[in-house]
Structures are given as structure tokens and as C-alpha cells.
Structure 1
Amino acid sequence: MKVDKWGQCAAELRQLALSAAHPRSRERLMGLYEICSGKNATQVGRESGRNPQTVMGWVHRYNEEGYEALLYRHTGGHPPL
């Protein structure tokens, strides 16, 4: 992972995960934190109930665009009540 590229360390990813407003954002950022801490995508996927390729997608998006790319955005359907 390219955390240095974005000027972040694993501890900062963990803090971002804990303070994220949406559960999906927290899940994605915590998955990145765990990968930075030595786990692989298969382990993170197994623990989170996600496909390992989904987890790798989070890593690739982070590497390309930074942590903002992992923040949840409502993209369709009806707005929440």
C-alpha cells in the first residue's frame, strides 16, 4: 500500500476509520489499517465477510486516489427517510 504517498501511517488510517461517519467507510478504512498492520486481503475478507477481491479493490482505490476514495457516497435510489 502507498500510505507514504498520501502522507499517512497505519495509525492515522485507524483514527480515520474510527471517526468515519458511515459504517461502510469505517469498514473500508479499518480493512486498510489491518493490511498495513500485516494482514493480507484474504484474512481481512474472511474477518469482515467480504470477498478478498473487494478488499483489494479498496487497496487499489486508496493507492490511486487516497482515503477520500473510500468514503461512502450515496449514489442512487431513494434518499434515506
Structure 2
Amino acid sequence: MLKLDLAKWNQIPDDLRKEAMNAPHARTRERFLALYELTQQGRGASAMARRVGRHLQTVIRWAHLYNEAGPHALVFEHTGGVPPFLTR
């Protein structure tokens, strides 16, 4: 079963919930809420992935990012993409 190392970052599950509620971007909220629910539910990552509508590897990647780099690693950053066709 996938576990989050909350103690490493001096956090409790409610901290993940607070981050999910206060995050400015929807993708950041989704990530923190999924990890919060992972700590609250007795289910594994596959059930949580189905529940949030994401691929299993995506949820596992979020958990590993959190465990390795902390909560700041889950904050969404726009990294580029296709530039808009029309600009002002």
C-alpha cells in the first residue's frame, strides 16, 4: 500500500486538506485533495485514482513527489505548451 511520509515534512493529514482548500490553482487543489483522501481512506492508490478520474501512475507519481520533495513539489506550474495562435 502506498504511504505518505507526512512526518518527514512535519505535517498531518489535515494540512493536506488545508492546502487543497487554499491552493489558487485547480490542479494543485486536485493533487492535495487526492493525497488527503489517500491518507483518510482505507483504500489503495488504484481506488483513489479511479475516484479522482486519474491514471494510477499519476496518483503514484504525486505521492512519490510529495515523499521526495515535499508539499511544494505538488504546486502546479505552467511549463509551456503550444503558444496561442492569435495574440493581441
Same fold (TM over 0.5): yes
Name the TM-score, length of structure 2 as normaliser.
0.84
Task: Output the aligned Cα RMSD.
Answer: 1.5
Structure 1 runs (4+) greater than 6 angstroms displaced? none
Residue identity opposite 1:55 in structure 2: V
Q: Point out where structure 2 has 5 or more consecutive residues left out of the alignment.
A: none
Aligned pairs, number: 80
Question: Counting helix residues as a fraction of each chain, which structure ranks higher?
Answer: 1
Give the counterpart of 1:16 among 19, 28, 40: 19
- Cα distance in 2, alignment partners of residues 17 and 26 from structure 1: 4
- Could you say what secondary structure the match of 1:43 adopts? helix
- Amino-acid identity (%): 44
- Cα distance in 1, alignment partners of residues 7 and 38 from structure 2: 14
Name the TM-score, length of structure 1 as normaliser.
0.91
When Rg is computed on C-alpha atoms for both structures, the one with the higher figure is 2
